[in-house]
Amino acid sequence: MSIQQPNTGSNELRVPLPPALSAEEAGEDLGRLGEALKARVGDVLAETVARTASGEEIDGVVQESFERICNSSTIAVARWIAGEGMAVAIEAGRETWEIFAELAAHRAASLNEVTRRCYWWRNVMAEILQDSATQLGVSRDTLYEALNILQLSLEFSVLRMCECYEAERRLTDEELARREEELSFLATHDPLTGLPNRTLILDRVEQMLVRSHRSQTPVGALFIDLDNFKSINDTLGHAVGDELLQAVAARLDGVVRATDALGRLGGDEFVVISEDLSLAMGPELVAERLLDALKPPFKLGKDKQSRVSVTASIGIASGEHTSAEELLRDADIAMYRAKWDGKNRHVVFETGMQGLVQSRMELEMDLREALEKKEFFLAYQPTIDLSDMSPNGVEALIRWEHPTRGVVQPDDFIPLLEETGLICEIGKWVLEEACAQGAAWRRSGYPIGIAVNVSGRQLDTDQLVIDVAEALSNSGLDPEALTIEITETTLMRNIEETASRLAQVKDLGVRIAIDDFGTGYSSLAHLQRFPVDALKIDRSFIMGLKHNQEGETLIHTLVQLGKSLSIETFAEGIEQQQELSLLRGEDCDSGQGFLFARPLDAAATEAFLHDWLANHAPAPAIVESLAATAVEPPAPAAVESPTTAVEPSAATVVK
């Protein structure tokens, strides 16, 4: 029986049926034929590569895999023919079918191409075995036995390859299904918290609105925005910020009903959509539950050592709405109103709020351009040494002169600076301008200090220390002439970090004052932790002097507290001679108020200092003569009382 020379890569059977003798019984000739095949592994590879070159185009990496398979398969069959047994050959050929299966399952090569190459390899192997048998002079039965082993090896390899291919294909299909499910989930859910995202929330709201129109039951949206989240992110890092968002989501999810929809719209914004029974009790009660859920501090960080307290502003919208977008828009507008009203509260949407929000947005856009357009300027309110009634400093107060709005009052734009984070950039500008002006006055012979109020946002980062150092260096102002003022409430926000940053500022030689003292929650123990040089007693206590005896007692206590701690005491908002006399009697160190001067522009401030020093005594006439140059507008003419004629907002500083 002769063996035809193969001329195609077909899978036509080219070997005889298995002989009666086993490989072990074939004797020495079969072993010689196996050894000869081992020596011709390279010939098998070269011929197989040549004959398969016309197949489908594959890349270099896949071609290398095919060549590696060809070599390992040839060696496995040669070892079997040489008498090492089927088990050895199967183990040696395991890599072959696994790689073939991976190539096919991962679409690196088609299953057809993989199978075609298997049969081409089988045909080349048959030719090489026939040629080697002729050269060795082995019997026809021995050659048939070798070809039979080759065929069995091919069939076994193809069978195992198909099994591996099927397993790989199943795994690939499962992975694709899992990824499709993930993509479908991510398309409608927030990846950080797992809550429904804006897309899914809008869809659910539309469904609720349809049910609402049909059953005449209300639907309400509660728009939740965390207060000061950016500050937490900037201070503790984005990893802790993400952890906080996850914890907030869990807290909120724990207080909403299963029939309500809680989602995250992005950033630090969440939304709750309520219908039916939730609104029967009123959406405001739902909002109260949400705010209460946030009250306990969150323990965050790697070791849960960071305790973070967070509040939220909630806007509520309910009633008739034509679309989900409209409902969420109204809730969003109410949320902004909650922010403006002081945060940590809820506000129900009312008609007319949209115009207010639009105006507020326009103001914010103008505010972002104000610094570049040089629309900000500083006013200066003198401070007086109450022991000899001489000016000993000024406080720098920011003002904004808008080209169409006129002079915008601080209460109208400083909260926006805080919310947008622009306060840090503007605060740096105030430091630079105030230090430059203070240095110029000192060079002109006015030995006064200058005070600048620093916001909580500035105090949240180490950039404040850099800004103060640069302002002093650029201006040439003596460090001891600069006082940094921080409100008592700001001081208590993050005691450890605040104490550290103030210590760094103090190391520059700068003075530290606590502004609005008595309105916060600091204790004697807390005060001793900060490098404080002065306590500025809040004007509300000064105003109380004329109303009752308790006011005098409180002032006495605060002044004595300062003296016991060797801290200078400073009274804000002095408006009447009676208040001045009582404060001097208590030995309060310094004071400030409309009794002495309103906030003035730089030229008027210098004239004030010159005239006061020239007269060496208080001169009410001088103050009256400066009224025309005062930055703050005069009190309404209809108000006759000297006390109420003073504007409460006139002492507003950069906060």
263: amino acid identity, one letter: G
Strand partners, 407: 401
Cα of 140 vs its chain's centroid, Å = 79
For residues 125 and 81, is the Cβ–Cβ distance under 8 A? no
282: amino acid identity, one letter: G
524 CB burial (10 A radius; 0-12, 13-18, 19+): exposed
CA angle, corner 636, sides to 627 and 592, nearest 5? 50
Strand partners, 307: 299
Residue 141 CA to residue 159 CA, distance in Å, equals 27
For residues 513 and 536, is the Cβ–Cβ distance under 8 A? yes
**Domains defined for the chain, CATH in brackets:** 24-184 (1.10.490), 198-351 (3.30.70.270), 379-596 (3.20.20.450)
For residues 82 and 40, is the Cβ–Cβ distance under 8 A? no
Name the nearest CA neighbour of 573 among 602, 601, 606, 536: 536
CA angle, corner 28, sides to 26 and 34, nearest 5? 85
Cβ neighbors of 503 (< 8 A, separation 6 or more) are 531
Strand partners, 312: 226
DSSP letter at 538 equals -
Residue 63 has a CB neighbour count (10 Å cut-off) of 14
Q: What's the confidence (pLDDT) of residue 628?
A: 43
DSSP run (H or E) holding 317:
strand 312-318
506: amino acid identity, one letter: K
Alpha helices, DSSP H only, in 137-227?
140-188, 198-215
Strand partners, 571: 537, 591
What is the C-alpha radius of gyration for the chain, rounded to an integer number of angstroms? 43
Cβ neighbors of 237 (< 8 A, separation 6 or more) are none
Q: What's the confidence (pLDDT) of residue 13?
A: 39
Q: Count how many residues are written for the chain.
A: 655
Secondary structure, 3-state, 145-158: HHHHHHHHHHHHHH
Strand partners, 394: 382, 450
Alpha helices, DSSP H only, in 528-594?
539-543, 549-564, 577-585
Question: In this structure, what are the phi and psi dihedrals at residue 512, rounded to the nearest 5 degrees?
Answer: -120, 130
Average pLDDT along the chain: 81
Handedness of CA 90, 93, 98, 100 (dihedral sign): negative
Cβ neighbors of 101 (< 8 A, separation 6 or more) are 161, 162, 163, 164, 165, 167, 168
Chain segment 367-397, per-residue pLDDT in tens = 888 888 999 999 999 999 999 899 999 999 9
Q: What's the confidence (pLDDT) of residue 524?
A: 62
Mean pLDDT, 10 residues at a time, the chain of 655 residues: 40 42 61 91 91 78 82 87 78 66 65 82 92 91 90 81 76 84 83 91 88 81 90 80 93 88 92 72 85 92 82 90 88 89 89 78 84 91 92 94 88 84 91 96 94 90 93 96 88 80 94 80 66 88 70 84 88 90 92 92 93 63 43 37 30 33
DSSP run (H or E) holding 285:
helix 283-293
Strand partners, 221: 273, 317
- On whether the pTM is more than 0.75, the answer is no
Chain segment 233-278, per-residue pLDDT in tens = 877 788 888 999 999 999 999 998 888 889 999 889 999 998 765 5
According to DSSP, the β-strands at 390-402 and 406-408 are antiparallel
Residue 451 CA to residue 469 CA, distance in Å, equals 15
Residue 487 CA to residue 655 CA, distance in Å, equals 8
Q: Which residue has the tokens 């200058």?
A: 450
Residue 242 CA to residue 300 CA, distance in Å, equals 10
Q: What's the confidence (pLDDT) of residue 346?
A: 93
628: amino acid identity, one letter: A
Chain segment 169-188, per-residue pLDDT in tens = 788 788 888 888 888 777 88
Is 517 in a helix, a strand, or coil? Answer: strand
Cα-Cα-Cα-Cα dihedral of 427, 432, 436, 439, to 10°? 80
Q: What's the confidence (pLDDT) of residue 544?
A: 63
Q: What's the confidence (pLDDT) of residue 304?
A: 79
Quick one: tokens of 440? Answer: 């110029």
Question: In this structure, what are the phi and psi dihedrals at residue 244, rounded to the nearest 5 degrees?
Answer: -65, -45
Q: What's the confidence (pLDDT) of residue 469?
A: 96
State the number of CA atoms in the 13 A half-sphere of 224 facing the CB: 30
